[in-house]
């Protein structure tokens, strides 16, 4: 059995100050995929502790420093680490990292942690950059899947796919994160055979959500968005035995504005 957890930590140092460590110890995943790490390799290793193999893409370009960074921590050996999604414009953005992880039977799983641009909410607006990044994801996933390997993409995609994936969908129909073009990209992804495990195991909805604003009563009223995903290649999806969102019991117990998405695979 392989347990995989993915979460936007909203800054690993802040997450640990708020209580990430007890959650990690209790959940005990084989793979932990993180977004918005906002830390160096050294800082990340110091916080994780223990016997983790680590793949980490730190942001090195202006506009991403201090706000991005993606990582994969694995209890299993990592054979190869890659941070190149393709187009040069995304080099150093800290938004894509791949790790070829050795499974118990000797086979390889390519795990991906990604953090997609927010889009028009950013300053300056970066919606076109977001669309270009989504196109790069499509191309890279196609390459990875070509040889029949297991592929798992996890992360904060900053897109709610369906009306069931955000509470205030009517008010957000013309906003980044729920635009028709973004949702159509996800339609094409799933039509190509990729599987959204959160929806498969989460039922028809509405929800369960994975992100709530820190402000106001969004968390208490469950006025959230489901923008954090585990998306598996068809063969890997067939081995999935469950997927759930670890929503904190109370607002005070939150250690990120995102909740972890945790799935298990019979591998």
Q: Does residue 196 carry a catalytic annotation?
A: no
Cis amide leading into 206 (omega within 30): yes
Nearest Cα to 210, choosing from 141, 149, 164, 265? 164
Pairing of strands 53-57, 70-74: antiparallel
- In whole angstroms, how large is the CA radius of gyration of the chain? 17
Can you state the angle between helices 127-145 and 180-191, rounded to 10 degrees? Answer: 0
The one catalytic residue in 156, 196, 228, 257 is: 156
- Residue 197 to residue 247: CA distance in whole angstroms: 17
- Residue 22 to residue 235: CA distance in whole angstroms: 33
Contact (Cβ atoms closer than 8 angstroms) between residue 79 and residue 102: yes
Contact (Cβ atoms closer than 8 angstroms) between residue 120 and residue 163: no
Q: Residue 111 belongs to what H/E stretch?
A: strand 108-115
* Residues identified as active-site: 156
């Amino acid at each position: 059995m392989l347990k995989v957890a993915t979460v936007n930590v909203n800054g690993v140092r802040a997450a640990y100050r708020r209580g990430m460590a007890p959650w990690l110890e209790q959940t005990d995943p084989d793979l932990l995929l993180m977004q918005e790490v906002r830390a160096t390799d050294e800082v990340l290793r110091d916080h994780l502790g223990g016997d983790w193999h680590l793949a980490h893409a730190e942001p090195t370009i202006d506009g991403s420093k201090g706000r991005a960074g993606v990582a994969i921590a694995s209890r299993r050996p990592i054979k190869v680490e890659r941070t190149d999604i393709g187009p040069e414009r995304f080099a150093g953005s800290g938004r894509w990292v791949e790790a070829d992880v050795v499974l118990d039977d000797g086979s390889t799983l390519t795990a991906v942690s990604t953090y997609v641009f927010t889009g028009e909410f950013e300053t300056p607006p970066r919606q076109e950059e977001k669309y270009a990044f989504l196109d790069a994801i499509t191309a890279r996933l196609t390459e990875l899947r070509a040889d029949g390997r297991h592929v798992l993409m996890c992360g904060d995609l900053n897109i709610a796919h369906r009306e069931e994936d955000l509470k205030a969908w009517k008010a957000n129909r013309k906003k980044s994160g729920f635009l028709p073009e973004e949702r159509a990209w996800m339609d094409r992804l799933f039509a190509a055979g990729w599987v959204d495990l959160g929806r498969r195991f989460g039922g028809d909805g509405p929800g369960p959500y994975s992100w709530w604003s820190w402000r106001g009563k969004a968390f208490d009223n469950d006025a959230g968005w489901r923008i954090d995903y585990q998306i598996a290649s068809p063969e890997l999806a067939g081995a999935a035995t469950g997927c759930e969102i670890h929503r904190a019991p109370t607002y005070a117990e939150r250690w990120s504005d995102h909740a972890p998405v945790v799935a298990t695979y019979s591998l």
